[in-house]
Structure 1
Amino acid sequence: MNAPYETAQPSRAELDALRGPTLVEFGTNWCGICKAAQPLIGEALAEAPTTLRHLKVEDGSGRPLGRSFGIKLWPTLIFLRDGQEIARLVRPDNAAAIREQLAHIVGRAA
């Protein structure tokens, strides 16, 4: 989970067109809260199926993708299934909550 947030961003239309489960993680590489959340996110993703797509997107002023989702705090996790937002977690503080939302987008009970 030490992969950096990517500065290159897909468009909202590209995300909306994705099929299957996707976790979009908004944050920045310098954000302390984002860094603190990485072990929790990693723990939850360790049990996720390989069909799950995980995108780490750098957010900030002038970043259109984050604005299209109304991101205000980091990290924010957006859980998508077939391009539709199913749930979101803002500043997650436990792996169980992340796992629960992942279960919803991959189509199995938590």
Structure 2
Amino acid sequence: MQVDYMASAPSLEEVRSLAGVTVLEFGTPWCGYCQIAQPGLERALARRHDVHHLKVEDGPGRRLGRAFRIKLWPTLVFLQDGEEVARLVRPASGEAIEQTLEGVAA
């Protein structure tokens, strides 16, 4: 699991070229909702070594967040081979993240 937010996000083309399952997490280090979601996200990803995690800092002028139409933080975008297959906005529990990962990775 990636701990720190990326100051410089990958391009949309780079994200679209990712192979396998990727969780693209949009948020900021100061966001309370983002901080609350971290323990559940950590638990869900701890058992999934086959899943890539990209923690992208979002905000005004951040192109990747706009490309995915991010409105609230945290937003988890689940990708399969670079294509969005699921999304969780402000996940309330680690169980919701785990269930979504199971469905995506199946």
Using structure 2 for the length normalisation, give the TM-score. 0.94
Q: Deviations over 1:33-89 (max 9, x none)?
A: 1011100111111221x2210000000000000000000000000000011101000
Q: Matches of residues 92-107 of structure 1 in structure 2 within 5 Å?
A: 92-107=91-106
Deviation at 1:2, TM superposition (A): 8.0
Q: Give the aligned partner of residue 71 of structure 1.
A: 70
Q: Give the aligned partner of residue 4 of structure 1.
A: 4
Q: Give the aligned partner of residue 60 of structure 2.
A: 61
Distance 2:30 2:97 in 1: 22
Amino acid at match of 1:37: A
What RMSD in Å do the two structures reach over aligned CA positions?
1.3
Alignment of 1:23 with 2:23, yes or no, is: yes
Percent same amino acid at aligned positions? 53
Would you say how many aligned residue pairs link Structure 1 and Structure 2? 106
Q: Which runs of 5+ in 2 are unaligned?
A: none
Distance 1:19 1:104 in 2: 17
Using structure 1 for the length normalisation, give the TM-score. 0.91
**Cα distance change on mapping 1:67 and 1:61 into 2, 3 Å:** same
Q: Give the aligned partner of residue 91 of structure 1.
A: 90
